[in-house]
Structure 1
Amino acid sequence: MSTSIVNTKKYNKSKLSLLSLSVMVALTACDGDDGKDGINGADGAAGADGINAPIVSVDHTPVLTRLATVPTGAEVTGAFLTDEGDLFFNVQHPSDANVETDKVNAKAFNKGTVGVLRGVNFNNLPKNVVSSPVPQSDFERQTVVSALGEYQILGQTQDTFSELGANGLAKGLGVHYGMISGDKIIENNAPDFNGYVSTGEGEGYLFTNWESYPGGMSRMKIEKDEFGSWSVKDAMMINFDHVGGTAANCFGSVSPWGTPLTSEEWIVNSSVNSTTSPSWNDPANTNTDGIEALTAPDFPNPYRYGYIAEITEPKSAEPIVVKHYTIGRYEHENSTVMPDRKTVYSSQDDTGGVLFKFIADTPEDLSSGTLYGAKLKQDQGSSDPATTGFDVTWVEVARGDNTTIEAWISEYDGIDTDDYDSGLSSYMTLADVQAWANGDATYPSVENGGSKVTAGQPMDDRAAFLESRQAAKMKGATAEWRKLEGISINHDRALEAVGKEEAVAGEDVMQAFMYYGIADIDNTMIDGEGDIQLSARVKDCGGVYRSKLEENYDIKRIEPVVMGGTYRSSLTGAERCDVNQLSQPDNVIVMKDGRIIIGEDGFQENNTLWMYDPKSK
C-alpha cells in the first residue's frame, strides 16, 4: 500500500481532492468477512459491509504486508493455508542463474520449488506483522525472504527422493513422460497449485500441479515434527493416462469433501472474436497447443482437454481421476466449491473471459448439473478500477452430465489430417454455436459454416460444454474479463454466515465474501466496449475484487478491494508497477481472521506474497 494511503492520518483532510478521497473511501471502508473490528469500533456493527456501509472515519486504513519475496525470475504460486495454520507456496520457474543458497535448505532456487513457511501458525498471527524487506543484495534476490518463519523446501524439479527407497520417485518430481512413447517430454519448472489433504494432526498429502504440456500433478506424503519441520515420506506423480492425460494443470482447490480439483489451462485458444473455423488437423500446421505430445502417434481430440479434474480418492495407492465436463471447457484457472457442496465458481484466465457458476444436481457430485455465465452491469458514471463495481445477474447456459457430454466428445475422436478440407471444419464452428444459441432445430450445413461432424443433425447442447465461452457469450453473459485468476473463500466463515437456516433473534447478521485475483485490468476490460469499460490507470498492475455471498451462495455484486498502483507505461521492467503495491495478483487466500493472502504473478524482479488487512487501523 502506498505511503499516501497508509499515512492518511498525517494529511490535512480538507486538502484532499474529491477523487483521492473517493479512492481512499473505497479502499478504507472494506471490512473483513466477520464484520468485527469494523468502522464502528472494536466489535463492529452488525453487517458492516465495507463498500456499502456508512463512512464514519477515514482512519480505518487498509494495510499491505510483504510476507515473503521469491527469487529472481519466479512467480508466487500454490499458496495454500491448512486448518492447522501451515502456509505452503511455490517458487515457479525461477531463473536458472540463481546460485545463492540459504542456511535452511542449502540449495539454490534455480528449479521449480515446492515449500512451506515452517515455525509459524498463520491461523494465529498477531494483528501487526512487520513486512519483509524489498530485496537488495544478491542473496536476497536469489532466495526466499520471509517476514515470518523459515521457508523450507519440500521438493524441487527432478528430485527423486532416493533416500525413501521404494517410496521415492525414480523418474523425478515434475518430470513428464509420453503416455504411449514413454519418452521423457519435459522436466517441469512450473509447480502451481498446492492442495493439502490431512490424514491426521501434523500429517497429510500435499498435491501440487505442474503447469505445462502435458499436465501433471504430484502427491507427497508429508509429516511435521514437534519443531515445525516437515519431512517427505513418499512421493508420486498422479497417473492421468486413464483420462487421456491432462493439459497445463494450473491452479485448483480442495473441495469441502476433501478431494483436490485440478484445472486445465492454455488449451482452448478460442477467441470470442474469432471469425475462422478451427483447423487443428490442418496438415500445414498440426500444432494443437502442445497436446499432441500426450497421445503421439495418435492425433489428439482437443475436446478431451480444458476441464476441471477431480482426484476422487486422494489417499489411495492409485488415486482416481475424473474429468468434469459439466463445468465447461475453457482456460480454467481454478474452481472453488461453496459450503453447500454443489455450487461451484470458476474463473477463466484469458482475454475476453467469463465468470462461470455451476450448480450440481446432487451435493458432492459434480458429474451433473447446470452451467451459468455472469452478466455484469458496471456502476453508472464510474470507470476507475479502484472505485468501480458491477451488479451481477446469471445467464443459464445449459444443463448436462458427464456421460452425455463424453459421448459428444467421442464423436471427434480419430479425426486426423486425412479429414482436413480447406475452408471446412471437422470441429465446432461459430456458426454451430450461434445456431444453438438461436434455438435452431438442427445444426447448420457445411455450406452455411457448420462442422462436418454435426451438419444437418438435430440440435443438442454440446456447444455449452465444448465451447463454453462462445456459448455463454452468445447467451448474453459478459465475456470481457482479462486474466481472471484465483477465486477464494474462507469455508468456515462462509458456512457460518450463509449456511445457517435462520438467525437467532437479536444476533449479529454475519457476512462472508468471495475474493478474486485479476492479474491484468487490460485489453477487453479497458477497450471502451461492452459491459466492462474501465480506465487504463491500473492496467497491468491488476487488483483484487470481492463479492458478498448471498442466500444459497449466490453473488449479486462484484466490488474492488485493493488495486495495484497507477501503471506507468513510460517506464520499463519492474518499475511499471510500484514495488510497494500489488503487481499482477494471481491467487488469493481468505484467512480465518478476514485478512487475505495474495500471490504475485508479475514482472517485478522479485514477486511478492502479500497479506492484505481490510480491517486494520
Structure 2
Amino acid sequence: MTFQLNGKGRLMLAMISAMLLAACDGDDGNDGTDGAQGPAGPQGPAGPAGPEGPAGQDGSDGASGEGGGNASLMTPGLTRLATVPAGAEVTGAYVTEWGDLFFNVQHPSDANTATDSEGKMFNHGTVGVLAGVNINKLPKNLVSVGVPQTQQERETVQVAYGEYQVIAQTMDTFGGAMPEGLGTVLATDKSTVVASIDDPDFNGFISTGDNEGYLFTNWESIPGAMSRLKLNKDASTGYWSVDSTDVQMLDFGTYGTIANCFGSVSPWSTPLTSEEWGNQGDDTQEWNDPSMQTARDMLAMYIDPTATDADGASSFPNTYRYHYIVEITDPLSDNPVPVKHYTMGRYEHENSIVMPDSKTVYLSQDDTNGVLFKFVADVAGDLSAGTLYGAKLTQDAGSFEPLTTGFDVEWIELAHSDNATIDGWIADFDGITTADFVEGQSNYLTDADAEAWAAGEANYPSVANGGGSTTAGMAMDDRIAFLESRKAARAKGATAEWRKFEGIYVNHKRAEEAVEGTDLIAGEAVNQAYVYFAIADMDNGMVDNEGDIQLSPRVKECGGVYRMPLLTGANAYDVNRIEPVVMGSTYRSTLDGAERCDVNALSQPDNVIVLDDGRIVIGEDGFQENNTLWMYDPTVNE
C-alpha cells in the first residue's frame, strides 16, 4: 500500500512501509504462442516428378506468460465483474438495499495516465459505484469482462455490466467544502495535517430515504480516518451525486484510530470500522523499545501536533488504546460519535459482522497465526458488554487438500467484561514511555501472564518469571483477554494458525430467513445461510504440518474463500463448522520458477460480501497487474 504523508509525517514513511503487509504486484501474461514449424522432411531422390518427403510435425505450443493469459480455463462459477487499474487493490465492496454496488480503487500506481470515458484518471485512491445496474438482479448466466490488454484497459476500471462512476478521489475538496481534501487526517488542533491517505477501504451506506443517504468510507493509514459523504441518486438515470454542503472527515477524538481497514454496518444502521495493522503483534514489548521504529511517533503527532516523536509528545501513545472495533454512533447527526468497543478484543481487526439477533458477532484477525473470534453481547444492539470467545478447530481426518478440507469448530470462552472496566485496565499503561524500557523485559502483558491467567493463578507472575512489569504480582483479572486477545486465546487452547484472515460477512436477510423462518428473499425459500470469509494467503501456520491446521501448500499465496453454516433453534446464529468454497490456483512460472496465481482464478481474496440470491462478490488484493472484483456462484460446484 502507498501512503502520501505531509509535514512531519514524511519522516515516518519508511517505518510505515516496513510494518505494512503489502500486496505484491504481478504482471498479467500474454497468450501462449505456437512453437516454430518443424523442418520439412528430406527431398526424395532425383527423378522425374519424384514426391517430396512428408512435412515435419508442428512444434508444441509455447508456454503461457505469467498470469496465464487465455491458456487456462476460468474457475467454474466465477465471473469477472470488474478489474481495477494497475497497482490497485479492490476494496470497499458494499451493496445497498437497491442493489447499488460500491467499491474502491485503493493505492493505484501514480504512473497511471490513461483516462476513462468521463476523463477520470486513476492515479489516486478512488471511491466509486457500479452505476446503472442492480447487482441483485443480474441473471445467472453472465459473461466476464476481459483481462486488460491495452494501456487504457490496464490503467482504468473495466466493468462487465453497468458503468463505474467515480464518486470522489483522494484530496477532492468538493468546491472548498473540505479544504484539506478527502482522506486528510488533521491533528487534535484541527489544523495540522498529519497524513493524506491514498487508501480508501470499507464503504458503508446508511439510507436517509429513497435514493439518498450517507456513504461512510475508511481511509487506511496511521493515523486512520473515515469520511462521510451525503449522496443522492437520480432515479431516472441511475447516476449519483455528492451533496457538497454535507461532507466531512470524522473526528476520532483525543487518541484517534489506526489503519481503518474493512468494516460493516450493524443491524441498527451504525458503521463498524476496524483498526488493523500498526501494532507489534505478539511482540508488544517492542512498543516502547527506543531502538525500534513503531507507529507510536505518528500517533504522537496526531495527539500533540507540536511533537516530532513520541517521547516529545504531551502524551506518549498507549498501544492498548488501539486495534479495536469502533462503532460510529449517531451516524446521521452533524457530529457522529465514535465508540471503541474494547469488549470485542484487541488484535489486528479486518472486520466484524453482527448477526440479525444483534448480539452475536464474528470477527477476523488479519495477521500471521491469527484467531477466529466470536463475541456475544449481553443486550441486543449494545456492544459495550459481553463475552469473547476463540475458535478451536479440528481438521477433517485424512484430508489436507484446501478445496475439500473443512474443520469442526468448538468455541472456547475467554472472558466477559464491559467497555468501562476495560478502559480502566488500559489506563494503567498510559504513563509508559521509552524511558521505562528494559532489555529482555516487558512493560506490557506477556505470554507468561497469559499462561498464568489460563491456569487460574491468583496473581500475575513476577518480572523474574516472565511477567510484565506493570502488572507483576497484582491480583489476577481478565484484562489479558481484551488487551492481548491472541495471547489469551492461544493460552486457552484456541487455534492461532490462520494467515491473513480477511473480510467476514453475512447477508442479513438470508440469515434471518434461514434461522427464524422470516420470508425476506423473494422467489426463494432460504433454508440454510452462511457466514463467509476470505483467506488471502494460506501460508505459514496453515501449511507447516503442525497444530490444528495442516493443509497442502498447493493454494498458498493465492488464497481462498470459506463459509460457516448458521445453526438454528436454541443455538441460533452460532456456527460449528467451516467449509471450503472456492480456492485460488497456484502454478509455477516457466519464466523464473516462482509460484504465481492464475489470472483466471482467485489471487489473494481480500473481502467478500453476500448478495440476496446467495452469490458472493470477492475483491482481490493479489499478484496480478490488474486485480479483479469477482462474482462467484457457490451452487455451481455443490
Tell whether 2:399 aligns with 1:382: yes
Deviations 1:459-500 (A, max 9, x none): 000000000001001101000000110111110010011124
Residue type of the partner of 2:241?
A: S
> Residue in 1 aligned with 2:350?
333
Q: 1:196 to 1:459 in 2, by over 3 A?
A: same
Once the two structures are TM-superposed, the CA of residue 309 in structure 1 deviates from its matched residue by: 0.2
- SS of the counterpart of 2:285? coil
Deviations 1:306-361 (A, max 9, x none): 00000011100000110000000000000000000000000000000000000000
- Higher mean alpha-carbon deviation, 383-392 vs 411-420, is at 411-420
Tell whether 2:117 aligns with 1:103: yes
> Residue in 1 aligned with 2:302?
294
Q: 1:537 to 1:450 in 2, by over 3 A?
A: same
- SS of the counterpart of 1:204? strand
Residue type of the partner of 2:237?
A: F
> Residue in 1 aligned with 2:458?
441
- SS of the counterpart of 1:405? helix
Once the two structures are TM-superposed, the CA of residue 93 in structure 1 deviates from its matched residue by: 0.1
Distance (whole Å) between structure 2 residues aligned to residue 321 and residue 207 of structure 1: 13
Percent of residue pairs bearing the same amino acid type: 64
Matches within 5 A, 1:346-365: 346-365=363-382
Residue type of the partner of 2:317?
A: P
Once the two structures are TM-superposed, the CA of residue 279 in structure 1 deviates from its matched residue by: 3.4
Distance (whole Å) between structure 1 residues aligned to residue 462 and residue 594 of structure 2: 52
Distance (whole Å) between structure 2 residues aligned to residue 359 and residue 572 of structure 1: 49
- SS of the counterpart of 2:227? strand
Is the Cα contact below 8 Å between 1:75 and 1:94 reproduced in 2? yes
Matches within 5 A, 1:529-568: 529-551=546-568, 552-568=572-588
TM-score by length of 2: 0.83
From 130, 140, 143, the counterpart of 1:117: 130
Distance (whole Å) between structure 2 residues aligned to residue 474 and residue 209 of structure 1: 33
From 190, 194, 203, the counterpart of 1:185: 194
Is the Cα contact below 8 Å between 2:279 and 2:295 reproduced in 1? no
Deviations 1:12-62 (A, max 9, x none): xxxxxxxxxxxxxxxxxxxxxxxxxxxxxxxxxxxxxxxxxxxxxxxxx94
Q: 1:508 to 1:227 in 2, by over 3 A?
A: closer
Distance (whole Å) between structure 2 residues aligned to residue 573 and residue 171 of structure 1: 47
Once the two structures are TM-superposed, the CA of residue 573 in structure 1 deviates from its matched residue by: 11
TM-score by length of 1: 0.85
Residue type of the partner of 2:239?
A: S
> Residue in 2 aligned with 1:51?
none
Q: 1:545 to 1:99 in 2, by over 3 A?
A: same
Tell whether 2:162 aligns with 1:149: yes
> Residue in 2 aligned with 1:40?
none
Tell whether 2:287 aligns with 1:280: yes
Residue type of the partner of 2:98?
A: E
- SS of the counterpart of 1:358? strand
Tell whether 2:248 aligns with 1:236: yes
What is the alpha-carbon root mean square deviation over aligned residues?
1.9
Residue type of the partner of 2:294?
A: N
Distance (whole Å) between structure 2 residues aligned to residue 181 and residue 253 of structure 1: 27
Residue type of the partner of 2:250?
A: I
Is the Cα contact below 8 Å between 1:199 and 1:205 reproduced in 2? yes
Aligned residue-pair number = 543
Query: Which runs of 5 or more residues in structure 1 are unaligned?
Result: 1-60
Is the Cα contact below 8 Å between 1:279 and 1:427 reproduced in 2? no
> Residue in 2 aligned with 1:258?
269
Query: Which runs of 5 or more residues in structure 2 are unaligned?
Result: 1-74, 305-312
Give the number of the structure whose alpha-carbon radius of gyration is greater.
2
Is the Cα contact below 8 Å between 1:574 and 1:603 reproduced in 2? no
> Residue in 2 aligned with 1:607?
627
Matches within 5 A, 1:474-489: 474-489=491-506
Tell whether 2:159 aligns with 1:161: no
- SS of the counterpart of 1:359? strand
Deviations 1:114-166 (A, max 9, x none): 0001000112112222110100000000000000011011111100001xx5x
Q: 1:118 to 1:205 in 2, by over 3 A?
A: same
> Residue in 2 aligned with 1:70?
84
Distance (whole Å) between structure 2 residues aligned to residue 574 and residue 319 of structure 1: 48
Is the Cα contact below 8 Å between 1:540 and 1:567 reproduced in 2? no
> Residue in 1 aligned with 2:230?
221
Once the two structures are TM-superposed, the CA of residue 428 in structure 1 deviates from its matched residue by: 1.1
Distance (whole Å) between structure 2 residues aligned to residue 569 and residue 302 of structure 1: 42
Once the two structures are TM-superposed, the CA of residue 435 in structure 1 deviates from its matched residue by: 1.1
From 428, 432, 440, the counterpart of 1:411: 428
Residue type of the partner of 2:225?
A: G
Q: 1:437 to 1:94 in 2, by over 3 A?
A: same
Is the Cα contact below 8 Å between 1:268 and 1:329 reproduced in 2? no
- SS of the counterpart of 2:448? helix
From 590, 600, 604, the counterpart of 1:580: 600
Distance (whole Å) between structure 2 residues aligned to residue 484 and residue 284 of structure 1: 30
> Residue in 1 aligned with 2:383?
366
